[in-house]
Amino acid sequence: MLICNCLAGLADLGFRIEDVIEQEHDAALGNGGLGRLAACFLDSLASLNYPAWGYGLRYRYGIFKQEIIDGYQVEVPDYWLDFNPWEFPRHDVTVDIQFFGHVRKSTDENGRTVAHWEGGEIVKAVAYDVPIPGYATPSTNNLRLWSSTAASGEFDFQKFNNGDYESSVADQQRAETISAVLYPNDNLERGKELRLKQQYFWVAASLYDIVRRFKKSKRPWKEFPEQVAIQLNDTHPTLAVVELQRILLDLEGLEWDEAWNIVTNTFGYTNHTVLPEALEKWSVPLIQHLLPRHLQIIYDINLYFLQSVERRFPEERDLLGRVSIIEESQPKMVRMAHLAIVGSHKVNGVAELHSDLIKTTIFKDFVTIFGPDKFTNVTNGITPRRWLHQANPRLSELISSKTGGKDFLTDLNELNKIELYVKDKAFRKEWADIKLANKERLAKHIKASAGVTVDPTALFDVQVKRIHEYKRQQLNIFGVIHRYLTLKAMSPEERKKQQPRVSIFGGKAAPGYWMAKQIIHLINSVGKVVNNDEDIGDLLKVVFLEDYNVSKAEIIIPASDISEHISTAGTEASGTSNMKFVLNGGLIIGTCDGANIEITREIGENNIFLFGNLAEDVEDLRHAHTYGTHEIDPDLNRVFQEIEKGTFGSTQDFAALISAVRDHGDYYLVSDDFHSYIETQALVDDAYRNQEEWITKCITSVARMGFFSSDRCINEYAEGIWNIEPLRVEKEEGA
């Protein structure tokens, strides 16, 4: 009803709804899977009627816009906030946030030592609220984003009048810098002071908000964990553990143990990566300078923790050093993951393999100390509202016609009803038509954005995600070169028998990640040669789609035949685009990594193309590369030789990509997995030729994807970690 009114209203004003929708910018608040998962969670929380808020920073410049110029990535700022009708500035909701200064201790009337954090500077946090409406429910939750501004809110008139123009605005500018930019790294942490400032600013404002709301209820403090659950989405907000302890001790006057009991029962910590370069550490001198009182509390938390470990494991001297929150390096570092574990009552990974890995590798000692029950798994999920209904309306409509309505959008297990129609001719025809239409739409987009003409009936092979060596876009492009060389070596007759393919790539490289940028450059350079080779024609096209984001994902994902989730086993915590692709009727080629494993279990191993070494073999292989001989796969060697001949332009640019595999230990096992990758891609070609079988695989897979709804995932958090129940709300009609 509302939609009809909107349509009519807009038409009266002379606008088309499509044009109005086009005006909307993607939110630029995240880097990749971590932020997008949070967005799915917000949708599920509201749709399931859980009273929950999200907190974050309102970045003036979020993730950059990617342009491809001469095959290279160029970053340009994205002015996404210039037009954002969804946010409500709340100038009435502000919090003063303190930085720097010193700590003074005094003794109160009961002889208790009290810490006073004094001096330093104050920055004001201003709330901006983004409503998160649930699907088919009147429930609407809130995403509160904090923006930084100078405490006075004005520049210094005195200085201005004295002609000191620069410093008259300096305070304002310094304050605004805090929420100015999103650090554009995915799965990589660099200990920059401004980032630590961002983290504290964000958690201090959010905790102030949460505590203020709790205090209004006039309940005793011991009830805080029953009323409030806070989930740390990765270690980035871990200072919240310390901040809550500070509030309870210094401002509310609780004793250490009582306060710490409240803190640990309030927080849960989700780990999203095992990559060492992504595990946050902050230098002790930096924290000392920026947050002197917090450093004292961190040291106390560590002291009491280590004392308890020592009491229980008196013989194990090394254990203390391994689990300590403080790393005894030069300079000393605070290990944020250790702080998050010690400060939380539950720790979870995001897919079964990943949750097992954290228990047996990086957090093994903590399992010994706290026992296995503190560690659990919550496999990630995606919202079917956006990633099926919105992205693929025709498929959603078809499913709804067979499952008896739209219930599958709130209970994704309903999808299994479509398996009954797997042999139904009309259903299959409509299924195939929808896929083709989605591919035609993508083909148009490819033409418009990359200038390449692709045949929509070719096999569309897609890898879209952040560019990272562990995600192995280099393996994919080396495979594409191998395919090209194989086709080139064939006679024209033989070529005619081959399956045409379009290899589609998309994703941003962190601006400082040189190797990832070389991968983008290689993909574009290969595309330039292959796409203009008349011998090859439509048999192979290679496309890099600029500026991959959510809006583009909504066009790309429904059009995929096969998508690539080919990380080195044990490196991708979960992945969520794997779920999106399968839900949209595409098959996947993947390694035994992250959620690929559970997807296989759900949809059946006949419906997925798995290849490569297993996580349990990775360590031995790496060891062999370093200490034994490392034979490069001969087919891969041919690929390297071709690149080195200059077939794809500048050999210098690509030398590092080759030597990482050939000379520097092949950390991501590209050579070890190359042969089985190529063989498995050949199986994909064969399978695709048999369209009847292919469609059966696709329908069967979609029917079995119910488990991967973020609704299931949120219910698991609610029951197993937060101990909360949904509110009873009347369901909305006709949603």
Which amino acid type is present at position 146?
W
Letter string b/e over residues 194-213, b meaning 16 or more CB atoms within 10 A of that residue's CB: ebbbbbbbbbbbbbbbbbee
* Binding-site string for ligand 9GP from residue 686 to residue 725, where x marks contact by CB under 6 A and - marks none: ----------------------------------------
Burial of 511 (0-12, 13-18, 19+ CB in 10 A): middle
Q: 257 CB contacts (<8 Å, ≥6 apart)?
A: none
SS3 state at 641: helix
| Closer to ligand 9GP by Cβ: residue 40 or 284 | 40
- What letter would DSSP give residue 61? B
Q: Assess 572 for contact with ligand 9GP (CB under 6 A).
A: yes
- Spot the catalytic one: 36, 58, 406, 465: 465
Instruction: State how far the Cα of 110 lies from the Cα of 100, in Å rounded to an integer.
Output: 29
In the residue annotation, 272 being an active-site residue is answered as yes
91-99, 570-578, 662-670, 722-730 -> range binding ligand 9GP (CB under 6 A): 570-578
Choose which of 47, 73, 179, 273 interacts with ligand 9GP (CB under 6 A): 273
Smallest distance, Å, CB 132 to ligand 9GP?
19
Q: Assess 186 for contact with ligand 9GP (CB under 6 A).
A: yes
Q: Which of 471, 445, 470, 482 is nearest to 460 (CA)?
A: 445
Q: Assess 463 for contact with ligand 9GP (CB under 6 A).
A: no
Which amino acid type is present at position 183?
Y
Q: Assess 594 for contact with ligand 9GP (CB under 6 A).
A: yes
Q: Assess 590 for contact with ligand 9GP (CB under 6 A).
A: no
Choose which of 73, 149, 179, 187 interacts with ligand 9GP (CB under 6 A): 187
Phi, psi at 488, each rounded to 5°: -60, -35
Q: Assess 32 for contact with ligand 9GP (CB under 6 A).
A: yes
Q: Assess 574 for contact with ligand 9GP (CB under 6 A).
A: yes
27-35, 157-165, 216-224, 296-304 -> range binding ligand 9GP (CB under 6 A): 27-35
326-334, 389-397, 567-575, 721-729 -> range binding ligand 9GP (CB under 6 A): 567-575
Choose which of 150, 519, 573, 618 interacts with ligand 9GP (CB under 6 A): 573
Confirm if 288 and 120 have CB atoms less than 8 A apart.
Answer: no
Using CB under 6 A as the binding criterion, the count of chain residues that bind ligand 9GP stands at 18
Choose which of 181, 350, 378, 454 interacts with ligand 9GP (CB under 6 A): 350
Helix 691-703 vs helix 670-689: crossing angle, to nearest 10: 110
| Closer to ligand 9GP by Cβ: residue 149 or 380 | 380
Helix 256-266 vs helix 292-312: crossing angle, to nearest 10: 90
169-177, 271-279, 507-515, 631-639 -> range binding ligand 9GP (CB under 6 A): 271-279
Choose which of 278, 336, 657, 699 interacts with ligand 9GP (CB under 6 A): 278
Return left, alpha or beta for 547; rule: phi > 0 is left, psi -120 to 50 is alpha, else beta: left
SS3 state at 594: coil
Smallest distance, Å, CB 234 to ligand 9GP?
5
In the residue annotation, 465 being an active-site residue is answered as yes
- Spot the catalytic one: 246, 580, 697, 704: 580
Instruction: State how far the Cα of 708 lies from the Cα of 427, in Å rounded to an integer.
Output: 24
Instruction: State how far the Cα of 268 lies from the Cα of 252, in Å rounded to an integer.
Output: 23
| Closer to ligand 9GP by Cβ: residue 228 or 353 | 353
Instruction: State how far the Cα of 36 lies from the Cα of 202, in Å rounded to an integer.
Output: 19
Q: Assess 349 for contact with ligand 9GP (CB under 6 A).
A: no
Q: 609 CB contacts (<8 Å, ≥6 apart)?
A: 562, 587, 588, 589, 590, 680, 683, 684, 687
Smallest distance, Å, CB 516 to ligand 9GP?
14
Confirm if 560 and 387 have CB atoms less than 8 A apart.
Answer: no
DSSP 354-379: HHHHHHHTTTHHHHHHH-GGGEEE--
Instruction: State how far the Cα of 582 lies from the Cα of 705, in Å rounded to an integer.
Output: 8
Q: Assess 576 for contact with ligand 9GP (CB under 6 A).
A: yes
Q: Assess 575 for contact with ligand 9GP (CB under 6 A).
A: yes
Q: Assess 503 for contact with ligand 9GP (CB under 6 A).
A: no
Which amino acid type is present at position 25?
H
Instruction: State how far the Cα of 259 lies from the Cα of 251, in Å rounded to an integer.
Output: 11
Q: Which of 734, 702, 604 is nearest to 402 (CA)?
A: 702
- Spot the catalytic one: 272, 338, 385, 435: 272
Smallest distance, Å, CB 262 to ligand 9GP?
27
Instruction: State how far the Cα of 715 lies from the Cα of 723, in Å rounded to an integer.
Output: 10
In the residue annotation, 731 being an active-site residue is answered as no
28-36, 392-400, 480-488, 513-521 -> range binding ligand 9GP (CB under 6 A): 28-36
| Closer to ligand 9GP by Cβ: residue 40 or 442 | 40
Q: Which of 247, 487, 308, 373 is nearest to 720 (CA)?
A: 373
Q: Assess 27 for contact with ligand 9GP (CB under 6 A).
A: no
Smallest distance, Å, CB 570 to ligand 9GP?
11
Q: Assess 469 for contact with ligand 9GP (CB under 6 A).
A: no
Smallest distance, Å, CB 717 to ligand 9GP?
13
Q: Assess 33 for contact with ligand 9GP (CB under 6 A).
A: yes
Choose which of 29, 34, 229, 698 interacts with ligand 9GP (CB under 6 A): 34
In the residue annotation, 425 being an active-site residue is answered as no
Instruction: State how far the Cα of 735 lies from the Cα of 733, in Å rounded to an integer.
Output: 6
The distance from CA 707 to its chain's CA centroid, rounded to whole angstroms, is 19
Smallest distance, Å, CB 308 to ligand 9GP?
28
Smallest distance, Å, CB 185 to ligand 9GP?
9
Binding residues for ligand 9GP restricted to 225-244, rule: CB under 6 A: 234
| Closer to ligand 9GP by Cβ: residue 350 or 459 | 350
Instruction: State how far the Cα of 100 lies from the Cα of 116, in Å rounded to an integer.
Output: 13
| Closer to ligand 9GP by Cβ: residue 236 or 517 | 236
| Closer to ligand 9GP by Cβ: residue 36 or 704 | 36
- What letter would DSSP give residue 351? S
Q: Which of 618, 617, 612 is nearest to 597 (CA)?
A: 612
Q: Assess 37 for contact with ligand 9GP (CB under 6 A).
A: yes
Q: Assess 516 for contact with ligand 9GP (CB under 6 A).
A: no
Smallest distance, Å, CB 476 to ligand 9GP?
17
Q: Under the rule (CB under 6 A), what is the footprint of ligand 9GP?
A: 32-34, 37, 186-187, 234, 272-273, 278, 350, 380, 572-576, 594
Catalytic residue positions, numbered: 272, 465-466, 471, 576, 580
